[in-house]
Amino acid sequence: MADFTDKTVLVTGSSRGIGLAIAKAFDAAGANVILHARSEISPETLAEFKSEPKTLQFDIADPEAAESSLKALYKQESFSGIDILINNAGITKDQLAIAMTPADFAQVVNVNLNGTFNVTQPVFKKMIRQKHGAIINLASVVGLMGNMGQANYSASKAGLVGLTKTLAKEGARRHIRVNAIAPGMIVSDMTGALPEKTQEEILKNIPLSRFGEASEIADVALFLAGNDYITGQTITVDGGLYI
């Protein structure tokens, strides 16, 4: 495991699920972790960390809220900057395309894609001045292969892949690396709520015959954050679903 002592990591959407797993992995690796969520993070969640993480509370879909919260963070006297940004926050609102409302399509794209940009831009500007940094965007395998009932989600995650490649090109001269992780089916409240028959059908299409664990996404985030010669890539972690 890479040593991230004295590195500061911001993980959006880190009150639960994949985001929380990533934040805890960086905490275990010695990093100073900043947690983010739309609502207040519970004391029970904070107690899971070795150190006492900072917390941010704002809606990433609101560009003014994102900018003001990050500006306030950077103005703190003891704050030295963000070394690693993990853009994990996102939503789903599934429906077949013929029944999906324009509002449902726009909301998912606005949170997942625009929201990622809202957080990334102010941090990216600071990283340009720092002349170092790493950004990891949580895309999805459905952004690469599509999925029935997820036109909005697939489009937003495909957009993140394009954003990742562009930022990687723009940031390279200032030693800023930008990559994406595209998870497949990961054990979560959402997958756990699927009917058993549906889970069985999905498993038939996964060569490794199981859903992934959030910790396995966190492992890849640590790897990408610690490798100085990988940028502009999208790493699929999907048990072979997209081959």
Active site residues: 153
Q: At what angle do helices 17-28 and 214-226 cross, to 10 degrees?
A: 50
Q: Give the C-alpha separation, 56 to 38, whole Å.
A: 8
Query: Coil, strand or helix: which one is 190?
Result: helix
In order, the DSSP letters of 68-130 are HHHHHHHHSTT----SEEEE-------B-TTT--HHHHHHHHIIIIIHHHHHHHHHHHHHHHH
For tokens 């639960």, what's the residue?
16
Please return the burial class of 204, using the count of CB atoms within 10 Å of its CB with bins 0-12, 13-18 and 19+: exposed
CB atoms within 10 A of CB 53: 22
Phi, then psi, of 55 in degrees rounded to 5:
-135, 145
Q: Give the C-alpha separation, 178 to 101, whole Å.
A: 33
Phi, then psi, of 205 in degrees rounded to 5:
-95, 0
